[in-house]
Amino acid sequence: MTRILVTPTALRNAPGPYRDALTRAGLEVVDATVDETKMTESALIAQLDGIDGVLAGMDPFTPAVLGASKLRAIARMGVGYDAIDVPAATRLKIPVTITPGTNEHSVAEQTMALILGAFRGVASRDREVRGGIWKRKPLKRLAGRTLGLVGLGRIGKAVVPRALGMGLKVIAYDPLPDRSFTDKHGVALCSLDELLAAADIVSLHLPCTKETTDVINAATLAKMKSGSVLINASRGGLIDEAALADALRSGHLFAAGLDVFKVEPLPPDSPLLSFDNVVVAPHMGGLDEESSEAMATLAAECLANLFRGKWPEGCVVNDELRPGWKW
C-alpha cells in the first residue's frame, strides 16, 4: 500500500478532513514518531524509510534527505517552501506542492497584531503592570502613519484593507505588482529604496530565496526612517538579525514585531530578546484553527490527486515536471 508520512505535530494521530482525503484515495497514513516540530536531517531520513509521499511541515528536505528517500511527492502545509531543496526534488522527479489561498487572512491578522503590539507597547506594558509598575508613558499614534509593504502577493493584499481600516496610508514594493488591485485600493507603488525612506512601518511579505535572503541588512536598515518600525511575519531569512539588533540598540528603529527567525525555535540567548520594544511570536502567522484545517486538507488533496493521476492546478512549485509525470 502507498504510504504517506504526516510530519506536522498538530496533525499527528489526529482525525480531520485531511486524513479522510488521504484514506479515501487508498493511501495509508503514517504519523511521524519523532517528538520535534522540525526534524533533523538524520531523523527525517529514518522516518522516510518505506514512505512514498509526505504531508510536510517545516522539515528540512535537503539533497541528502531527498536522495536517501524513495519519495514520489511532497505536499507542504503552507505557502513557503524554503525548507525544501526544490531543484534537488525536481532532478529526482518529486513534485512539491504548497497550499495557496489558505492562510493569508491569518498572516494578515498576525501582521496587524505585531504592528499594534509594537506601536502600543502591548507586551512591555503587560510585563510592567504584572511587575507592579504603573507607568503611563504615551507612545506614538498609529493612525496617519505610512505602512510600506515589501511584497504584494496574497498576504500583502490581505493586509491592505485591514491597514486602511486602521487609518494607515499604504505604499508597496513588488517586482510584479497587480496594478488593478493597487489602483482599486489606492496603494502607491514605489521602489524598495523609496519605500524604506518613506514608510513609518516596513512589513515584509516576500518568499526567502537567494535573492531575498538578508534583504533587510545594515545598508537597508540605514535607509529606513529614524524611529520607524520593522515587521516580519514572512520568513526569518529575510533579516540580518545582528544588523537589526544594532539598529534597535542605537535607537534608529522605534520597535520591531517578529513572528519568524533565522533559527527556530529562537535561541534563548538571542540578542533580539533583550529589547523591550521587540514583540515576538513563535512563527504563528499562518496558523489559526481555520487556516490549519484548510492547509492540511489542501495538502492532503494534492497528494491524493497526484496519486490518482490528476495534477493539482496552481499548487505545484516545480510545475515543469507535469508532462509525462506518473506516481
Distance CA 62, CA 82 (A): 10
Residues annotated as catalytic are: 235, 264, 283
From residue 56, give the alpha-carbon distance in Å to each of 76, 126, 320.
5, 36, 21
For residue 31, report the phi and psi dihedrals to the nearest 5 degrees. -90, 135
Query: Which single residue is written with the C-alpha cell 496552481?
Result: 314
